[in-house]
Amino acid sequence: MQSIDFPMHRHAPGEEVDYVIIGVGSAGGVLLQRLARAGFKVLGMEAGPFWDTERDWVSDEAGSHQLYWEDKRVTGGKNPLALGANNCGKGVGGGSVHWAAFTPRFHPSDFEVYTRDGVGVDWPMSYWDLKPYYELLELEMPVAGPAYYPWGDPHGYAFGPHPMGGVGNTLVRGCTNLGIGVSIGGPVAILSGSRGNRPHCIYRGFCIQGCKVGAKASTLVTHVPDALENGAEIRDRCMVSRIHHDTRSNRVTGISYIDRDGKECFQKAKAVIVSGYAIETPRLLLNSACAGYENGLANSSGTVGKYLMAQIGNVILGRFDEPVRMYKAPPAHALTEEFYETDPKRDFARGFAIQTVGPLPIAFAKQMMVARGNWGWGMRRIMMDYNHWSSFGLLGEILPWADNRVTLSHETDQFGLKVADVSFNLHENDEKLREFGRNKTEEVMRAAGAKEVVQEARFAHLVGAARMGSDPTSSVVDCYGRTHDIANLFVCDGSILPTQGSANPGLTIQALAARTADYLISQGTVIFNSDRRDMTPPPVRPELSPPGTHGVGVPRVANLASR
């Protein structure tokens, strides 16, 4: 539905660009669009393909694996993370192509968990610094949701909520029976009314396989078209292998990449932004070690790769006498954040959310394999009952720990580059939170009327591993994504998050990208020829939104909470 067929500007071979952005995913797409619109010469490098959604995507679970990062990686630790389809995208749009598109904001408390709860770290910025960008991105995607969203900083959505599917109804029923507040029909970055040439959702439930309809927001449909129209170039199927650094000036000079024909190329750039997500970003920095940065580029603090976070993502499944048919409607359509904040009555810090999920048959079979130990005839039997099951996703905050990290393995990938070795362990607070959250979610499922309730432990989302902070000895980048070590090297993607709350990270990642873009634009050419660090907050530039963003939708309920 969304073929982008207008010509793309191509920079001449050997031509120096202003910014090269490594990875055109959630963050990379927004950066590319903003910087191109502001008139910079920008080049996006993307390891995966530039999708023609009608031709390349299918409405089929097993046929969609090419959307995920399937290159070699090693995962270990006490609680090894599943990667690939579980959290890593590849191709223009990156993770936003296969996300479920839940888009809650972080809460104000997320930005100061250390001050409030004595755990994790504080962010080098506050919620209120990011808020204008939340508001912008919620219009740009746009986000559909209730007119009044009560948690965190209460706000409303410009696009109306979605109708409920069977799973949503289960969650609403369970929550209301227990007196727990619930948000219905959003917030999700899925169109509830058509916009431009994007039709609204057809409730087909294949969000995680990529929305062929174009109803679900991905930077591929929301930001990339505008970026190209403003002169940005995207080189797809080009894997960036190294960032080059000049020791004398302590500045980066460009990148090496392996193009689609397997040829290694060099690209000169005045500044480099890494947006490869929480595993590839640290991997690239570590693989770019050089004189002066023997432990990895911009890693004088030793924190590159550390403080990787996933969220607790247990799936709680309940069987109902009446059919549910959970493959209908987008997996993401209702949630509660009632348990988001630290509660002194519980014996752990921070909290969790409960959300709808909608596993298709293969995912469901794998869940049943874990949750009920099914195999053989038992598997055949439980699968014949597929239509009677409903499922919730627990989304719990895991705190940042130094031993959860990305390092380089001795193994190499198809390009001869060292692959990432990911190690992950739950700590006491995380385990307590998981236990409590799981029980609460099961309680909601029972309250909704489920006769049998089972669960599968798992993890969702990734963030961290190149975190931002004000202290250069314990973080990699500052609050605008600029590395503390090198003045013209930036990181902007999920890896810079210092903590993660129990909200899905996509919206926050894109909002941070828009803010970084505003900062870069406000700095003009200073970035390119000086090491000066001006920390003045940039003005918010709504005029840089893609066309058609403003002036539609319902007037929003303004901020109801005071600062």
Ligand X SMILES: Cc1cc2nc3c(=O)[nH]c(=O)nc-3n(C[C@H](O)[C@H](O)[C@H](O)COP(=O)(O)OP(=O)(O)OC[C@H]3O[C@@H](n4cnc5c(N)ncnc54)[C@H](O)[C@@H]3O)c2cc1C
**23 scored as a contact of ligand X (CB under 6 A):** yes
C-beta closer to ligand SF4: residue 27 or 215: 215
Binding segment for ligand SF4 among 19-27, 68-76, 209-217, 275-283 (CB under 6 A)?
Answer: 209-217
CA dist 472 → 308, 335, 469, 485, 545 (Å): 18, 37, 7, 8, 32
CB of 164 to ligand X, least distance (A): 17
C-beta closer to another protein: residue 124 or 359: 359
C-beta closer to another protein: residue 184 or 349: 184
**254 scored as a contact of ligand X (CB under 6 A):** no
Please select the residue that binds ligand SF4; options are 57, 134, 149, 206, rule is CB under 6 A. 206
Token pair in block for residue 412: 């190499």
Three-state SS at 334: strand
C-beta closer to ligand X: residue 339 or 459: 459
Please select the residue that binds ligand SF4; options are 166, 254, 296, 330, rule is CB under 6 A. 330
Q: Which residue is nearest to ligand X (CB)?
A: 25
Residue 393 and residue 418 in contact, taking contact as beta carbons nearer than 8 Å: no
The residues, ordered by sequence, that sit 6+ positions from 525 with a Cβ below 8 Å of its Cβ are none
Distance of CA 264 to the CA centre of its chain: 29
The residues, ordered by sequence, that sit 6+ positions from 425 with a Cβ below 8 Å of its Cβ are 77, 78, 79, 401, 403, 404
d(CA 76, CA 282) in angstroms, rounded, equals 17
Binding mask 389-428 for ligand X (x = CB under 6 A): ----------------------------------------
Binding segment for ligand X among 21-29, 261-269, 318-326, 523-531 (CB under 6 A)?
Answer: 21-29
C-beta closer to ligand X: residue 243 or 453: 243
CB of 53 to ligand SF4, least distance (A): 11
C-beta closer to another protein: residue 184 or 521: 184
Give the closest residue to 198 by CA, choosing from 218, 217, 214.
214
Please select the residue that binds ligand SF4; options are 22, 207, 274, 316, rule is CB under 6 A. 207
**459 scored as a contact of ligand X (CB under 6 A):** no
DSSP string, 213-232: TS-B--HHHHTHHHHHHTT-
The residues, ordered by sequence, that sit 6+ positions from 333 with a Cβ below 8 Å of its Cβ are 162, 164, 165, 167, 168, 184, 185, 186, 188, 356
Give the closest residue to 470 by CA, choosing from 480, 457, 462, 460.
480
C-beta closer to another protein: residue 269 or 453: 453
How many CB atoms lie under 10 A from the CB of residue 193? 15
Residues engaged in binding ligand SF4 (CB under 6 A)? 190, 201-207, 211, 213, 215-216, 330
Residue ranges binding ligand X (CB under 6 A) = 22-23, 25-28, 45-48, 86-87, 89-91, 94-96, 98-103, 208, 239-240, 275-277, 280, 284, 332, 461, 493-494, 504-507, 509
